[in-house]
Amino acid sequence: MRILIAEDDEVLADGLCRSMSRNGYAVDCVGDGMDADLMLKGDQPFNLVILDLGLPRLDGLCVLRNLRERNQQVPVIILTARDGVADRVKGLDLGADDYLVKPFCLPELEARVRALMRRGQCGVNPVFSCGTLSFDSVGRRAAINGESLELTTRETGVLEALMSHTGWVVSKDQLLEHLYSYAEEASANAIEVYIHRLRKKIEVAGVTIRNIRGLGYVIDKVSP
């Protein structure tokens, strides 16, 4: 899952990035509205946007308006120091999905992010399975025969990408995009390390991760 944070307060932005990264999301952060608009127009899709209204160069409401005019349906949580009802109504009418007034508690924001992720799964089973291995895409938890599987944040991200495309090949580039923000150093060799660790942890579920030479990886049941 990938999140874009658009916030010009560097201290708050850093705290938000740390919080979202700690919860296993790949996070990109920008400090003004023009950069946010450019990122949202790019090829990299986002699963959620955390958007401050008081951004320089292009305010958050303009970013939101442009987003919806492009018919992009990514969920948006607005952050603002403006606590007037008119501002909240305008943001919601423009297509925001939720609204938080500063100052707020990080645990509340984290809960709202989870709620929007669940809402995005409406009509879709958020739990993927392969053999006795299952992955809850909302809670971001893996289990074998119902027993929780201990994974690192990166391992969880790799498994999420593979489980959501069970039976299909996922390339290294796709895995890198799923795991890392633009600001992070990303290495294809690191993907191989995560795959190696995951293979060991999921083999008891009768599942393996196959390397399709030159294409990527696919998660599948072990052949009898």
- The CATH number assigned to the domain holding 197 equals 1.10.10.10
> Could you tell me the residue range of the domain that residue 193 belongs to?
127-221
Q: Rounded to whole angstroms, how far apart are CA atoms 195 and 34?
A: 37
Name every residue whose Cβ is closer than 8 Å to that of residue 41 and which is 6 or more positions away in sequence: 70
Domain end among 120, 144, 161: 120
**Stretch among 9-18, 122-131, 181-190, 206-215 having the lowest mean pLDDT:** 122-131
67 with 32, same domain? Answer: yes
Contact 50, 7 (CB under 8 A): yes
Q: What's this model's pTM, rounded to 2 decimal places? A: 0.65
Note whether 81 and 140 are same-domain residues. no
Q: Is 165 exposed, middle or buried (0-12, 13-18, 19+ CB in 10 A)?
A: middle
With the C-alpha atoms ordered 33, 35, 41, 44, is the resulting torsion angle positive or negative?
Answer: negative
Token pair for residue 148? 């929780």
21-44 per-position pLDDT tens digit: 888 788 899 999 999 999 999 877
Cross-strand partners of 129? 134
Please tell me the total count of domains within the chain.
Answer: 2
Q: What is the pLDDT of residue 122?
A: 42
98 and 136 assigned to the same domain: no
Same domain, residue pair 64 and 24: yes
Assess whether pLDDT exceeds 60 at residue 182. Answer: yes
> How far is it, in rounded angstroms, from Cα 27 to Cα 197?
23
pLDDT in tens, 68-111: 999 998 999 999 887 667 777 888 888 999 988 888 899 899 98
At 84, which CATH number? Answer: 3.40.50.2300
- Do residues 34 and 135 both lie within one domain? no
Q: Identify the pLDDT of residue 180.
A: 78
Do 21 and 80 fall into the same domain?
yes
